[in-house]
A and B are shown apart, each in its own frame.
Chain A
Amino acid sequence: MKHLFFAAGVLSATVAAAETPELTVYTYDSFVSDWGPGPQIKEAFEANCGCTLNLVGVEDGAALLARLKLEGENSDADVVLGLDTNLIVAAKDTGLLAEHAVMAEYDLPVEWNDSTFVPYDWGYFAFVLNADADAPDSFEALAASDMKIVIQDPRSSTPGLGLLLWIKSVYGDRAPEIWEGLADNVLTVTKGWSEAYGLFLEGEADMVLSYTTSPAYHLIAEEDASKKAAAFDEGHYMQVEVAAKLAGSDQSDLADQFLTFMVSDAAQAILPTTNWMYPAVLPEAGLPEGFETLITPEKSLLLSAEDAAATRDEALAEWLGALSQ
């Protein structure tokens, strides 16, 4: 008899499993990692959706887009989460994405009304240095100094590409000249953010390209106030991270529900201390304690998605030219 009950239990469990809808979200690897927002986001969303949330990690933003292109219309993904503004045009051009149904009041320093992409967090690129060091206040001041910086390669890293567009949006046609001035400050270029930040923490360089929010990690998670970000008078380039729904999704409503959840209080409150970025919609409780110590740039720079796409090849060529001599 016992066995029968057991068998019945197993059977009904499988039936229940088959009926639970599944939502597959492709995102970058650090989002799904045990130390990223993934685990908490999954728990919070599953608490109310009556569904299973599959978070699939794919290296980083650029690799994520490459994966979408590889899979094309047969992609298993319902939602892609983790592209940034520099990838928006290329992502839209695939024709794989659909318009979303999210209504939200964004707290972004720039206007946002895109019908395909939902921003869920954002940050400013900045050079991070030790709190007791003198920080330059512009790229020209940096070029004139003998400070050594570590940056990421724009060909393999999204912050690296962000720096190219930062300089391009401040200096325009003078960008090559600025890069030539910076050439002797660039200690080295790394494959990705982790390598660069690791080099900086080992004391190899005076500054590293990262985010204005990086010091908040050290302050909040390690109670260490020894890092700061250099505030540049000319403004800081932004990275806005976005999510979108796939046109081929068989869970369209659930996908919209997830996108709406991502800009809700529940998700937005998780992001600042797991993804170490600013929330796209300020949660009711405000920013976590410690964020008030961060620099707030007076000027927020962001090329439109079209300009970013049109500029990146030229900016890369200029960068290669200036640093390869």
Chain B
Amino acid sequence: MAGRAQPVKPTLGVSAAALVAALILAALAAVALRAEPGRGLGPSDWAALKFTLTQACLSALISVALAIPLARALARRRFYGRSALIALLGAPFILPVIVAILGLLQVFGRSGWINTALEALGLPAVSIYGLHGVVLAHVFFNLPLATRLILQGWQAIPAERFRLAAQLNLSSTAMFRLIEWPMLARAMPSALATVFAICLTSFAVALSLGGGPKATTIELAIYQAFRFDFDLGRAAMLSALQIALTATAGLMALRLARGEGFGAGLDRPVQRWDGDTVAARGLDTLCIVLSALFLLLPLGAIIGAGLANLLSLPEVIFRAALTSILVAIVSTVILLLLALPMAMAIATGRGTLVELSGILGLAASPLVIGTGLFIILRPVTNPADWALPVTALVNAISALPFALRILVPNTRDEVARYGRLALSLDMAGAPFVWRVLLPRLRPQIGFAAGLAAALSMGDLGVIAFFAGPDFATLPLQTYRLMGAYKMDAAAGAALLLLILSFGAFWALDRGGRWHAEV
């Protein structure tokens, strides 16, 4: 494949990947070089590693296992409000951590709705605190993403395949074996690796819901090394460990996810004739209702808590909201400039290294990246003056892995389908990109841009390092309100953040969908 002529050149994508990798590794190196000799990794660090791996594996397995039936139900059912539901399901993923924790506790906490109901029924209370609580929260965050990634796989199956299957009168089982399983075998590993990588860097969720220091993750160990011991060497080592783990998971996923696509179709809306039995209908309905309840109840709690305070928010909050919107826009533009060429490079066979550098953004601890960039920038300039571009850039890089997961499969398929035709028509390069690739990737570009904008809006990220007096984002101001005892106002600000994040996600994701299907 590598030797064949390709409709797009990988040069741009390879440069973008090199840039991303250089930035992250330079930040890590800056921290490591600034280190004085400290103690190496101790037993407590290995315990942290063990807990981190356990919770990340469990969270990834459970999220993806639940996502499969949900994605299947969403793929084969058409009902009123379906697309709204799919969009709403994305909301937990883009919530700021602390807000999500408080929302989850409203439902699952000691005095939450479930325990109140149990108490009313005379049943013993259930505790959310412990490993199961950590996994529950991670599934809450990541089930929607896993579902969207797998649903995308379903939607990449051309409608003609299902027609043929129906004409051949294939049973549900046969259809699963011949059409759906090969698709899942391609889609699952990357969904698993993505969720695993996200959970690997979890800290506040794991600690607050884990019930104590047993739930120490590597990210917390980095925090301790940095703040409690000021041992930069250990912080850099732990961060490198985190990156190595993510890279390994990513490489494994890439290896497993190889395989041919489904070939071209006529882009007709998918119609299916299977799954019409009562049992199948019941199962799908159950999947959809239960997942919707699980994901939407905590959101409802957040909306309920914030609504009363939304309109009485001080003016500075709205100013911070404007700053956040600006950061989100810049960040989304940077993301697309990086992700699209990289996706094209991967699609034309320059896979592994480019993919790998795309994953780095997930693995790198924000604390280490922030510190590293600070060390690099300070001798040259006042870091506070660079708050906006640095925040936007780091946010874009951390959204990059998701964007690639979303863009790569379809880019690869489009290149495989239309590449030869384009070459024979002598329209390789820019014309192919503008007239074939980008228009056909519109839904994926919209989804990726929406996700990036929303994540950037809600992410506290590296802002803590660079925030000057005049540059405060909405998440930062929300934390500040909480730090000043103003929990009610913080709930209002959190709701505003949710509305903005979700609004950005909705608008971009919606804008990308060019026919009625998601």
User: A residues bordering B, Cβ < 8 Å?
Assistant: 29-30, 32-36, 54-59, 62-63, 65-66, 69-71, 74, 76, 90, 148, 153-156, 183, 186-191, 193-195, 197-199, 201-205, 214, 217-218, 221, 276, 316, 319-320, 323-324
Q: Flag if A56 contacts B384 (CB, 8 Å).
A: yes
Shortest distance from the beta carbon of A67 to any chain B beta carbon, whole Å: 8
B122 within 8 A of A: no
Partner of A69, one of B230, B467, B486: B230
Choice from A197, A199, A323 contacting B485 with Cβ under 8 Å: A197
Say whether B239 faces chain A, with CB atoms less than 8 Å apart.
no
A204 touches B485 (CB 8 A): no
Do B105 and A197 touch across chains, with their CB atoms under 8 A apart?
Answer: no
Could you tell me if B223 and A70 are in contact, using CB atoms closer than 8 angstroms? no
Q: What is the CA–CA distance of A173 and B223 in the complex, to the nearest angstrom?
A: 28
Q: List 8 A-B contacts (CB under 8 A).
A: A66-B226, A90-B230, A153-B213, A194-B98, A197-B485, A202-B111, A203-B109, A324-B213
Give the shortest distance, in Å, between A55 (CB) and chain B (any CB): 6
Contact of A204 among B105, B204, B484 (CB under 8 A): B105
Given contacts A54-B469, A183-B212, 15 further A-B contacts (CB under 8 A): A33-B477, A65-B230, A74-B378, A155-B220, A155-B228, A188-B209, A189-B211, A190-B208, A194-B479, A197-B487, A198-B102, A198-B487, A202-B109, A204-B105, A320-B213
Give the distance in Å from the alpha carbon of A156 to the alpha carbon of B206 in the complex.
Answer: 14
Partner of B212, one of A35, A90, A205, A323: A323
Bound complex: CA A186 to CA B208 (Å): 11
| Bound: A284/B468 CA distance, A | 34
Residues of B within 8 A of A195 (CB): 98, 101, 204, 208, 482
* B318 interface residue (CB < 8 Å to A): no
Proximity string of chain B (249-290) to chain A, C-beta cutoff 8 Å, 1 when within and 0 when not: 000000000000000000000000000000000000000000
Which residues of chain A are within 8 angstroms of B224 by Cβ–Cβ distance?
A: 155-156
A187-B211 contact, Cβ under 8 Å, with A66-B227, A203-B111? yes
Q: Which of A57, A76, A198, A323 has the most CB of B within 10 A?
A: A198
Chain B interface, DSSP helix/strand/loop, else mixed = helix
CA distance A186 to B477 in the complex (A): 29
Measured between beta carbons, the chain B residues less than 8 angstroms from A316 are 228
Assess whether B110 is in contact with A204, with CB atoms less than 8 Å apart: yes
How far is B203's CA from A148's CA once the two chains are assembled, in angstroms? 22
User: Among residues 6 to 59 in chain B, which have CB atoms less than 8 Å away from a CB atom of chain A?
Assistant: 34, 44, 47
A323 to B214 alpha-carbon distance, docked (Å): 7
- Minimum CB distance partner of A200 in chain B: B487
Interface size on B, residues (CB 8 A): 53
List chain A residues, Cβ under 8 A from B490: 198
B386 CB-CB contact with A under 8 Å:
no
Q: Is the CB of B226 within 8 A of A199?
A: no
Cross-interface CB contact of B109 among A65, A183, A190, A204, cutoff 8 Å: A204
A277 to B371 Cα, complex, angstroms: 31
How far is A57 from B384 in the complex, measured between Cα atoms in Å? 11
A189 and B212 contact, Cβ closer than 8 Å, known pairs A32-B469, A197-B482: yes
Q: Mark B473-485, 1 if CB is under 8 A from A, else 0.
A: 0000101111111
For B464, list chain A residues within 8 Å (CB).
29, 58-59, 63
B209 neighbours in A (Cβ, 8 Å):
188
Chain A residues with CB under 8 A of B382? 76
B209-244 CB contact bits vs A (8 Å, 1 = yes)?
A: 111111000001001101110100000000000000
CB proximity to A under 8 Å, residues B88-133: 98, 101-102, 105-106, 109-111, 129
Chain B residues whose C-beta falls within 8 Å of the C-beta of A55 in the assembled complex? 469
B455 at the interface (CB under 8 A from A): no
| Nearest CB in chain A: distance from B111 CB, A | 4
Instruction: Assess whether A155 is in contact with B223, with CB atoms less than 8 Å apart.
Output: yes
Interface residues as binary, B190-205 with A (CB distance below 8 Å gives 1, 0 otherwise): 0000000000000110
A36 to chain B, nearest CB (A): 6
Is B375 among interface residues, defined by CB-CB distance under 8 A?
A: yes
Q: How far is the CA of A68 from the CA of B375 in the complex (A)?
A: 12
- In the complex, are the beta carbons of A201 and B230 less than 8 A apart? no
Give the chain A neighbours of B213 by CB distance below 8 A. 153, 189, 319-320, 323-324
Nearest B-chain residue to A161, judged by Cβ: B228
Q: How far is the CA of A274 from the CA of B61 in the complex (A)?
A: 47
In the complex, chain A residues whose CB is within 8 Å of the CB of B397? none
Contacts of A183 in B (CB 8 A): 212
Chain B, residue nearest A189 (CB):
B212
Residues from chain B with a CB closer than 8 A to the CB of A69 are 230
> Is residue B316 contacting chain A, with contact meaning CB distance below 8 A?
yes
Query: Whose C-beta in chain B lies nearest to the C-beta of A76?
Result: B382
Chain A residues within an 8 Å CB radius of B371: 70
User: B389: which A residues are within 8 A, CB to CB?
Assistant: none
B374 at interface, CB cutoff 8 A: yes
User: Which residues of B have CB within 8 Å of A32?
Assistant: 469
Closest 5 CB pairs of A and B: A35-B484, A194-B482, A33-B480, A203-B111, A155-B224
The answer, yes or no, to whether B304 is at the interface (CB within 8 Å) is: no
A-contact 0/1 string along B450-494, CB 8 Å cutoff: 000000000000001001110000000101111111110010000
